[in-house]
Amino acid sequence: MTKITLFYDRVRWEEKQLHARASERGIPLDLVDVRGLLYQIPRERDLPGIALQRCVSHTRGIRAAQYFELGGTTVINASRVSEICGDKFATGLRLLGAGIPHPRTAEAFSVESALQGADKLGYPIVMKPLNGSWGREVAVLSDARSLKSYLELKEGSGDPDDHVYYLQEFIQNPGRDIRTVCVGGEVVASIYRYAPEGDWRSNVALGGTAKPCQLDREGRELMLKAAEVVGGEIVGVDSMEGPQGLMVHEVNSNVEFRGAAGGTGVDIAGRILDYALRKAAR
């Protein structure tokens, strides 16, 4: 049977599920901790076959994918997908280009431009790091005064990434968003994620709770289209129910699916392995 390599740097619930399902089904799964790799030019090691890129570190995951893709490994998701999904603005541009509803967004590189952007988008305004995750450092600011204070804090940082200001309109929603896991061009699970008490962010990592969501055909097609425009084979598409309908705000190329699996009962790890085996057989 085809061997699948799994690139990881931390074993989360998801990686453990992949390992357990592979063991149960007799699928050879080779766990490679990328923290121990040495990437050299010229190359000294190839990994023929297929690999699942499951690193929690964006940087380490992209490097592993880039390096082994060049040697002929089929990496899911490909490095290019992670590059796009790791950049919220680049993702937004692709969604926009495909006509997929997305919150109005602005990116600025100075405090003055950021304040102008907020005036155009209106308050409250949502500020996010360009490449953050788990709701980390996401803030909703109610007026120009609070935004100025936020920007001053960021200006004091020595990290150039902190000087990229990503602003987004606040979408009024019913206190939940929708996480849809897409694998190989199919919707395998959708959940509503409800924000925990006292928070407005619904990330499961922050304590959000999951309930099954039945998307209609139009909704499923929208999620698959979002996955497709970033080139994603295994992704988590996050959307909100805005006043005008569903809006996709993010596509995750290293999807954590514990909440979706628990909320729906779908064996997502098994579906991922099935897809990897199908792809390897092509």
Partner 1 sequence: MNATCAECGGSVPVADDALKGEIVSCPDCGTEFEVKEMGSTVQLVAAPKIEEDWGE
- Nearest-angstrom CA–CA distance, 282 and 266: 25
Closest to partner 1 by CB, 60 vs 176, is 60
According to the binding rule CB under 8 A, does residue 87 interact with partner 1? no
- Nearest-angstrom CA–CA distance, 246 and 194: 16
- Nearest-angstrom CA–CA distance, 166 and 176: 22
Closest to partner 1 by CB, 132 vs 207, is 132
Distance in angstroms between the alpha carbons of the first and the last residue of the chain: 14
Provide, rounded to whole angstroms, the least separation between the CB of residue 86 and partner 1. Answer: 8
Provide, rounded to whole angstroms, the least separation between the CB of residue 85 and partner 1. Answer: 8
Which amino acid appears at position 83 of this protein?
Answer: E
Which residues, in sequence order, are bridge partners of residue 240? 247
Residue 119 CA, chain-centre distance (Å), reads: 28
Q: Is 96 left (phi over 0), alpha (psi -120 to 50) or beta?
A: alpha
Among 30, 43, 45, 59, binds partner 1 (CB under 8 A): 59
Provide, rounded to whole angstroms, the least separation between the CB of residue 123 and partner 1. Answer: 27
Site for partner 1 in 172-211 (CB under 8 A): none
Closest to partner 1 by CB, 155 vs 161, is 161
According to the binding rule CB under 8 A, does residue 119 interact with partner 1? no
Provide, rounded to whole angstroms, the least separation between the CB of residue 75 and partner 1. Answer: 17
According to the binding rule CB under 8 A, does residue 131 interact with partner 1? yes
According to the binding rule CB under 8 A, does residue 136 interact with partner 1? yes
DSSP letters spanning 105-143 = EEEESSHHHHHHHHHHH-SSEEEE-TT--TTTT-EEE-S
Provide, rounded to whole angstroms, the least separation between the CB of residue 255 and partner 1. Answer: 6
Site for partner 1 in 227-246 (CB under 8 A): 236
Closest to partner 1 by CB, 222 vs 251, is 251
DSSP three-state, residue 187: strand
- Nearest-angstrom CA–CA distance, 264 and 266: 5
Residue 175 CA, chain-centre distance (Å), reads: 20
What are the CA-CA distances from residue 82 to residues 32, 76, 87, 108 (Å)?
19, 10, 8, 23
Question: Which stretch, 39-47, 64-72, 102-110, 131-139, contacts partner 1 (CB under 8 A)?
Answer: 131-139
Among 3, 31, 66, 140, binds partner 1 (CB under 8 A): 31
Provide, rounded to whole angstroms, the least separation between the CB of residue 201 and partner 1. Answer: 13
Q: What are 57's two structure tokens?
A: 């570190």
Closest to partner 1 by CB, 118 vs 255, is 255
According to the binding rule CB under 8 A, does residue 130 interact with partner 1? no
What secondary structure, in 3-state letters, does 12-27 show? CHHHHHHHHHHHHHCC
Among 30, 152, 155, 161, binds partner 1 (CB under 8 A): 161
Which residues of this protein are in contact with partner 1, per CB under 8 A? 8-11, 15-16, 19-20, 31, 33, 56-59, 86, 129, 131-134, 136, 159, 161, 236, 252-256
